[in-house]
Structure 1
Amino acid sequence: MNKKLLELLNQINAQKQVVIDLANAGKLAEAKAEKEKLQQMQDKFDLLKDVEDPDPEGGEGEGSGAGDPVNSGALKNVNVNYNRVVHEFADAARHYFKDAAKANTEGTKADGGYTVPDDIRTEINRYREEKFSLQSLVDTETVTTESGRRTYQSRADYEGFAEVSEGGKISGIAGPSFEVIEYTIKKYAGWLPVTNELLADSDANIANTLIRWLGEQDIATRNRLILNIMKSKSATELANLDGIKKLINVTLGSAFKDTSKIVTNDDGLNWMDTLKDTNGRYLLKPNADPTSPIKQMLAVGTRNIPLIIVPNSILKSDETTAKKRGIPMICGDLKEGVKLFDRQKLSILASNTASVTGFNAYEQDMTLFRGILRMDVRTKDAKAFVNGVVTIDDATVAGA
């Protein structure tokens, strides 16, 4: 990287500090104005780097912060290596990911495409973590093969040894049994049209657009597959709080007493927020542990059960019955109940001449990007969770 670009990076860092100082001082209008200057400086850097330092291996220099200092949350130096990756990624997009040196064949040879570099994939993962992802609730294993199997010892009731008289014959006892979970990595894909004007834009804009798209699709795909496993069990009507207590204390029992959670949606939170004990005290309470991401606990008898609130848009209530609403209450230990096998392979193909379901990229002067994910989700222990539902009158749900 040449001296001019390095000086510009230093100016970007200094300008970012100005924005931070103004924001911390409560001078928001001034901070916004300075942020616009910062964005212009970043755009200038992206443009000059494309022209003056196009070689991703060229240039030297350590140091220096995130590729997008405007939007990063904390002050840090511009990361020259990350900028190289962003430039390489954006340059590949401009050439429709047709660089044979970067092509990869995953799964079958027909699935070849540009493999997303680690730094970009890390950004996608970070974006996914900032949104609501059900993957945080289940057991995830990274795998490197297209299929495989895992063996687990089955849960069983042990009767213990039988009494034996002196000189008597010792009887046999049942040995352990095992269950096998087999996985087969499946391919999930979708396409996105973008304007060719975008491809002529700065590296950061191209990368951010594709990162956001891939991240959103990644989240939605994983959420759908995990929900399919949760909902694969027949729904158990819980009726009321007593039904939830029995499910936690008896159905799930002591095997999962320390790890059980209640997963519900916004409707469920609203319903639980009305529950009171015999003394008129609300049963929903804030989590006393400030270091935990779990914000609410539900008092179930003598125990406080962590509550996971999933947006209604992801975990939907059942509204098929007139004037009734079936609120999902998935209870148990989902780390033991559901397993996601993550191939961690993400690839992209692009075309400016393709036609998809009536959309003609060539006619509309656009480029179609196709993203491909690979994973599998399986039931790990069906006894570890229950697909519960509480059916209520719609009038009891605010806004109904």
Structure 2
Amino acid sequence: MSKELRALLQKLEQRKTEVRSFMAGDKLKEAEDMMAEVRSLQTQVKMLQELENEERDFVGGGGGAPLIGGSNGLETREDGELEREYTGIFLRGLRRQGVTADMRSIITEYERRAVMNEGGTNPAIPAGDSSILVPKDIQTQIHAVIRSLDDLTQYVNVVPVTALSGTRVMEKDQAMVPFGLIDEYSPIPEMDNPQFIPVEYKVKKRGGILPLTNELLADSDQNVLAYITDWIGRKSVVTRNSLVVNLLNGMTKVDLANFGAVKKVLNVSLDPAISLNASILTNQDGYDWMDQLVDTQGRPLLTDDITQPGRKLFKGRPIVVVANRYLPTNTGAGKAPMVIGNLKQLITLFSRKFYEIASTKEGGDAFRRDTTDLRTIIRDDIKTWDSGAAVYGMVDISDVV
């Protein structure tokens, strides 16, 4: 963002503040007069932003200024500077140190680039408020924490979305119709395929509060960010794991008498294309039962996954283990849950990729306990895509429970 654009954005924010002040004082004539200048400034900002975008695209395409990755796969050094400035403002807001008009203009520009076509968040935030998007580099750290944990969403189809609601049209693998034969210079025929299914989503807001002691906030930026990213990462995994498990628990359950019935699901119940990419998701009891099974030669039926030490395979299909508290065993019947199939084909998680954070020293219990409370919000929705892509079995493991 150029100095000219930054100054223009700062001036725009000042005029907006004056309009609100006039309206609060019931000075509607003055507010209307000032709005004329606001509209003019907004037009100038839009034109200057378009001009700078065109100049940046020209430089990126012409091989001029060095590029280091970012928007549309490219990021100028100017973008890197904006990222650093925004991160510094984010930390100030987190500590409730106040956000100046110039800083608000940086927030406006950063969020405009981040969300681009989804409308963004309200840039006119009060001084000291940090209800803004988490910076990209901090989101990267959060994702690193998530990858280090047992995140079930790695096994399902995750679709990043920017809109709060919408529809995706998907096709079931086992019912796909081949492309038709086209003669030279012949028109492409329409394909009659009723297996296309619209999947509607509407992301829901989920969030939580993390009390931060003022002693922690007085610590270094690195320690503060490490603490926050670890908390957000772990909470995100627990939240989304519960979404996946709750959807699985809504499936029709099938009794499987023994391990032969498990093999029959892979060999017969599932479409071969789905079975080839299937996994077996079970709880700790189910895994313990499978891990003790041997063939007639006394060799374990499960084999080690040489690509991921500690993980087991059955006929090349990975075994995914979930804690008993998420997928409990029916101890009375001696049956453990075992979801067999392609979870990416079964479940789609629509995730709005941005985290939003706000902090307060006065709201909630923060004032009484002398803390700064951090509020984190994520937005997502989860849907069943192809119900025929997996079988939810209850396997008899009474001999080991």
TM-score (norm 1): 0.65
Query: Structure 1 residue 190 and structure 2 residue 208: aligned?
Result: yes
* Corresponding residue number in structure 1 for 2:180: none
- 1:317 deviates by 2.1
What is the CA–CA distance in structure 2 between the aligned matches of 1:129 and 1:286, rounded to whole Å? 21
* Corresponding residue number in structure 2 for 1:209: 227
Equivalent residues in 2 for 1:127-206, closer than 5 Å: 127-154=145-172, 155-156=174-175, 175-177=192-194, 178-206=196-224
What is the CA–CA distance in structure 2 between the aligned matches of 1:110 and 1:180, rounded to whole Å? 37
* Corresponding residue number in structure 1 for 2:335: 326
Q: In the alignment, which of 280, 284, 289 is matched to residue 298 of structure 2?
A: 280
Please give the per-residue CA displacement for 1:115-162, whole angstroms capped at 9, x wherever unaligned: 10000000001111011101110111111111111112345498xxxx
Provide the secondary structure at the position in 1 that maps to 2:266.
helix
* Corresponding residue number in structure 2 for 1:295: 311
Please give the per-residue CA displacement for 1:179-235, whole angstroms capped at 9, x wherever unaligned: 110111111111111212222222122111211111111111111111122222022
- 1:98 deviates by 6.2
Q: Aligned partner of 1:180: which letter?
A: P
Please give the per-residue CA displacement for 1:74-98, whole angstroms capped at 9, x wherever unaligned: xxxxx99998776443322111786
Relative to 1, partners in 2 of residues 1:366 and 1:213: Cα closer, same or farther, differing over 3 Å?
Answer: same
Q: In the alignment, which of 354, 357, 378 is matched to residue 348 of structure 1?
A: 357
Contact 2:92 2:99 in 1 (8 A): no
* Corresponding residue number in structure 2 for 1:370: 375
- 1:304 deviates by 4.0
Please give the per-residue CA displacement for 1:228-269, whole angstroms capped at 9, x wherever unaligned: 222220221212101101211111131312111111222222
Contact 1:96 1:349 in 2 (8 A): no
Q: What are structure 2's unaligned runs of at least 5 residues? A: 1-79, 112-118, 178-190
Query: Structure 1 residue 264 and structure 2 residue 278: aligned?
Result: no
Contact 2:93 2:359 in 1 (8 A): no
What is the CA–CA distance in structure 2 between the aligned matches of 1:145 and 1:293, rounded to whole Å? 39
What is the CA–CA distance in structure 1 between the aligned matches of 2:310 and 2:368, rounded to whole Å? 50
Provide the secondary structure at the position in 2 that maps to 1:280.
coil
Query: Structure 1 residue 89 and structure 2 residue 86: aligned?
Result: no
Provide the secondary structure at the position in 2 that maps to 1:201.
coil
- 1:374 deviates by 0.9
* Corresponding residue number in structure 2 for 1:241: 259
Query: Structure 1 residue 221 and structure 2 residue 232: aligned?
Result: no
Query: Structure 1 residue 310 and structure 2 residue 322: aligned?
Result: yes
Q: In the alignment, which of 387, 390, 393 is matched to residue 385 of structure 1?
A: 390
Please give the per-residue CA displacement for 1:322-360, whole angstroms capped at 9, x wherever unaligned: 4x44322111001111111111121111111112xxxx2
- 1:107 deviates by 7.9
* Corresponding residue number in structure 2 for 1:396: 400
Contact 2:201 2:350 in 1 (8 A): yes
Q: Aligned partner of 2:200: which letter?
A: E
What is the CA–CA distance in structure 2 between the aligned matches of 1:193 and 1:122, rounded to whole Å? 23
* Corresponding residue number in structure 1 for 2:57: none
* Corresponding residue number in structure 1 for 2:250: 232
What is the CA–CA distance in structure 2 between the aligned matches of 1:343 and 1:123, rounded to whole Å? 17
What is the CA–CA distance in structure 1 between the aligned matches of 2:124 and 2:385, rounded to whole Å? 32
- 1:310 deviates by 2.9
- 1:294 deviates by 7.8
Equivalent pairs counted in the alignment come to 290
Q: Which has the higher helix share?
A: 2
* Corresponding residue number in structure 2 for 1:253: 271
What is the CA–CA distance in structure 2 between the aligned matches of 1:268 and 1:388, rounded to whole Å? 11
What is the CA–CA distance in structure 1 between the aligned matches of 2:98 and 2:241, rounded to whole Å? 28
Q: What are structure 1's unaligned runs of at least 5 residues? A: 1-78, 159-173
What is the CA–CA distance in structure 2 between the aligned matches of 1:120 and 1:274, rounded to whole Å? 43
- 1:110 deviates by 12
Relative to 1, partners in 2 of residues 1:218 and 1:109: Cα closer, same or farther, differing over 3 Å?
Answer: farther
What is the CA–CA distance in structure 1 between the aligned matches of 2:335 and 2:345, rounded to whole Å? 25
Q: Aligned partner of 1:340: which letter?
A: L
RMSD: 3.2
What is the CA–CA distance in structure 2 between the aligned matches of 1:116 and 1:225, rounded to whole Å? 23
* Corresponding residue number in structure 1 for 2:74: none
- 1:371 deviates by 0.4
Please give the per-residue CA displacement for 1:21-71, whole angstroms capped at 9, x wherever unaligned: xxxxxxxxxxxxxxxxxxxxxxxxxxxxxxxxxxxxxxxxxxxxxxxxxxx
- 1:293 deviates by 6.8
Matched residues, percent identical?
A: 33
What is the CA–CA distance in structure 2 between the aligned matches of 1:384 and 1:97, rounded to whole Å? 52
Provide the secondary structure at the position in 2 that maps to 1:190.
strand
Contact 1:98 1:114 in 2 (8 A): no
Q: Aligned partner of 1:337: which letter?
A: L
